[in-house]
Amino acid sequence: RNIHQLRNRERVNAQNQLQQANRQSSQSATVTSGFDARRMRYGINFGLNFSNNYSLFRLAPQVGYQFNKYVMAGVGVSYYYSKNRIYHLDERMSYISNSLGANAFAYLYPASVLVLSAQPEANYIWSHYKGNQSGQLDKNNVLVPSFIVGAGLKLGPAHAMLYYDLVQDVNSPYPSGIYYG
């Protein structure tokens, strides 16, 4: 009889320990299902191009969060500087443009190597033409919307993508048509 009661107590203690362990694991699972700093993603697009008649500098850092293996989203900023020397008749002119922008982005990964992206963006662009001989100066300040969509491949931590700006604004810092990035 005492052995039977002892076995019942041991069984109840074992069940209580199992329930407590289940509660602790479900609580820790709840904690990990919230924000996880290990899912933060950081990137930067850096461009530098120099030639006799053209110069370009681009800096565009971004920060995102990998929600799951299919979705990543975040925000970014960008700065562009370009200078283009133009020769017209006997006069040499310069076109100088600066752009400061902000964007939001989302990447979808429908398969392990396929990537789809969307990026609405706004860029404030200030530019001017300057004639070296005539001193002519023409200034232009505009706010330019863009909506970039893309598709491509995920190659380790990088993406090889084809992009297209749906808005196609004449002042857009992006090329017309499809471009590689």
The confidence band for 135, taking pLDDT boundaries of 50, 70 and 90, is: low
Rounded distance, CA 156 to CA 160, Å?
A: 10
Average pLDDT, rounded, for the chain = 85
Which of 49, 123, 131, 130 has the alpha carbon at shortest distance from 96?
130
pLDDT of residue 107: 95
pLDDT in tens, 52-61: 888 989 999 9
pLDDT in tens, 59-71: 999 999 999 999 9
Q: What is the DSSP letter of 155?
A: E
Largest CA distance in the chain: 115
pLDDT in tens, 7-39: 666 676 777 777 777 766 655 544 456 889 999
| pTM tops 0.75 | no
Cα 14 to Cα 5, 24, 25, 79: the distances in Å are 14, 15, 16, 63
pLDDT of residue 110: 96
pLDDT of residue 31: 45
pLDDT of residue 30: 46
pLDDT in tens, 77-131: 999 999 988 877 777 788 889 999 999 999 999 998 999 999 999 999 998 887 7
